[in-house]
Amino acid sequence: MPRVPPQEDQEDKEDPPRTEMPSVHVFVGDYGPFQPKGPIDRALLWLCHGGGRGVVGAPACDGGDSPSGRHALYSLAGAAQAELLRPGRESDDGGRPRFSRILIVDLADAFATEEEYRAALAAENARPELTKALGKKLLRTLKRLVLTDARAAAEGELAGVLLKLYAETRRNAVSADMIEELWLMHPDLSEEYVAAHLSDEVEPHPAQLNLVRREGSTGGRLPALRRRFPDVATRIVTRGDAVHNAFSVVARRRLTDAPAPYAADRHDDLGHSLFLSRLHVEMDVFTKQYQRRGEDVTADLDALIEAPASASPGPIDWSRCDRHVSALVLRGNRCVLARSLAGACTGMRIPSVLPRLGEAAPRAALRALEEHTGVEEDEVRALEHFPVLTVYAPNGRAVLMELHVLYAVNPPPEGPLEEADMEDEEDDYDWYTYPNAVRRLDAASGGALRTVACALSQAAAAGLVPDQWGGVFGKELRMTAK
C-alpha cells in the first residue's frame, strides 16, 4: 500500500505557532515538471541555507526570487542540468540512475534574518535533541515529503544538522527508510559537536556515509563518524576548486570540468529537458491529510527582473545578498564592456558571474570574461600588486561584486587607436575609454571605474602598469583634475 503524508504527531503540535517553514524545490530531467505521486523514491536531497554559498556548480540557493534579478536557483540550474540530462546516466547504478530528481530544501524562508538563522544553527548543533527553531521544522518538512531511500547531502555546519536529522528518522518506523546515504560536503563538526553527538556508544547506523573534505581541514572527524557509520563508502579530499559539481559527486562521478551555464533550450537525446517545481504541502480540509502539490516555476529560471540603472537599491540585507566576481580588461587607455546579444540584459556591463564552490575568485573572473565576451584566459594577464575592488549594488541589484582588473596580452590592431571606439552591436563586447565607459554604465559601476582609474595612476607611477597603447586607463580623469 503506498504511503501517504503522515498527520502531525503530538511532537509537531508542541512546536510554536510560527508558520515560516523551509522551502522545497525540485529539479527533474523529464518531459514535464515534477508532480508528486506516492513516495518520492531515490531523490538527491540537498539541504542548504540561502544566505550561504552552496557547494554546487554555482554557489547559492534561496527559496524565492533572487535579489540579483534571476530566480535564486538559477545558480544551481546549470549543475542540475549537467547531471540530470547527462547521456548514459540511466545505467549508473544497476541499470537505474542513482537519483532521478534533486530536492532543494532551503532554510532561508524559515528565518526572518541571517542573525536569527545563525543563532538557531548554533543552538541546534549544541543541543543533543532537535530544537523547535530548526531541527523539528526540518524533520516535519521531510516527513511531509514522503521520501524513501534518499541520498541526503549538506555542507559545513549544516552537515551536523543532517546527522541529527538522520538519527531522529531512525527512531521512527514511519521514517526509518527515508535516507539511504549521507553526503557530508566539507563538514564543519567542532570538538563540541563531537562531544555532544558522536561520543556516546550507540548501535551503528545502516546508512552509507560519504565524506568530501578540503585538504588540510580537520572538520571531517572521520574517527568519530566511523563509530556511528561503519560503512564509509566515499572519501574525497579536494584541493581548491577540484569539485565543480557536487551533484555529479553524489552520482559518483568525479568531474573536474565546470558545468555549462543553464540554457532553457537544452535537452538530452531522448528529448528530456530540465524542469523546476516548487513543492507545496497543504492540509486537505476534508481528509485532514497533508497533500503535496508541485508548481512549475521553470520559466522563472530564465526570467530577469531588471531594475532601472538610476534606481536606488533601498535597504539591503548585505549578509544575504549574492556575491559576484567580475573582470575588467584593460588595453592601454581602454577597457572591455560586455553586452547580451540574447537580450538577457540591456546596455553595457562589466562581465560577472556567481563563483562556484571552491572556485578561486581570479578563476571566476576569467570565467566571467570568457562566458560573456568570448575572450579566453590566454589573451589576458593579471595586474600584479593591483587591488581587488568591490562594487556595491551594480544596476540597483542587491549584489556585492568583486572586481578583478586584468590586462590584454596582445596589442590593438594596426591603425588609429580611435577605431576601437566604434561600437558593433552584433559583437559580445566593445572597447571604451574611461569617459565613454562611465556614460554607458550604471552609477555604481561607473564609480568603481573612477576608483580603478585613481589606483591605476599610482600603479603606473610606480612602474606596475604599462603606459602604452594610448596611455593608462583613466588618463582623462587625471587631465580633468589638473
- Please write the tens of the pLDDT for every residue from 328-360: 999 999 999 998 776 556 778 999 998 887 789
Provide DSSP, 313-357.
Answer: --S--TTTSEEEEEEEEEETTEEEEE--TTSSS-S-B--EEPPPT
Copy the grid coordinates of residue 37: 505521486
Residue with cell 574611461: 434
Please indicate, yes or no, if residue 256 is contained in any of the structural domains. Answer: yes
* 377 and 445 fall within a common domain: yes
* 374 and 268 fall within a common domain: no
Comparing CA positions, the residue from 376, 385, 307, 303 lying closest to residue 336 is 376
Residue with cell 531594475: 307
* 118 and 264 fall within a common domain: yes
Q: Domain holding 58: CATH number?
A: 3.40.50
Which tens digit of pLDDT belongs to each residue from 84-97?
998 876 666 566 78
Please indicate, yes or no, if residue 317 is contained in any of the structural domains. Answer: no
Distance CA 338, CA 348 (A): 5
* Amino acid, single-letter form, for residue 67: P
Work out the number of other CB atoms within 10 angstroms of the CB of residue 140.
Answer: 21
Confidence of residue 62 (pLDDT cuts 50, 70, 90): very low
* 136 and 281 fall within a common domain: yes
* 281 and 331 fall within a common domain: no
- Total tally of structural domains belonging to the chain: 2
Which H or E element spans position 458? helix 443-461
279 phi and psi, to 5 degrees?
-90, 130
* 240 and 364 fall within a common domain: no
**469: which residues sit within 8 A by CB, 6+ positions away?**
331, 332, 333, 334, 411, 412, 417
> Is residue 439 helix, strand or coil?
helix
> Is residue 259 helix, strand or coil?
coil
pTM: 0.60
Q: Which pLDDT score is estimated for 380?
A: 96
Q: Which domain holds residue 426?
A: 322-481
> Do the beta carbons of residue 312 and residue 396 sit within 8 Å?
yes
Which of residues 272, 301, 330 is at a domain's end?
301
Q: What is the arithmetic mean of pLDDT over 232-236?
A: 69
Which tens digit of pLDDT belongs to each residue from 120-176?
999 998 888 899 999 999 999 999 999 999 999 998 889 999 999 998 988 887 778
Work out the number of other CB atoms within 10 angstroms of the CB of residue 27.
Answer: 28
* 282 and 426 fall within a common domain: no
**Longest CA pairwise span in the chain (Å):** 83
* 286 and 327 fall within a common domain: no
* 266 and 342 fall within a common domain: no
Distance CA 49, CA 279 (A): 17
Distance CA 259, CA 190 (A): 32
In the chain, pLDDT over 90 holds for what percent of residues?
35
* Amino acid, single-letter form, for residue 414: E
Confidence of residue 414 (pLDDT cuts 50, 70, 90): confident
Distance CA 479, CA 482 (A): 5
Look at 102 and 219; give whichever has higher pLDDT: 102
> Is residue 367 helix, strand or coil?
helix
**111: which residues sit within 8 A by CB, 6+ positions away?**
20, 117, 120
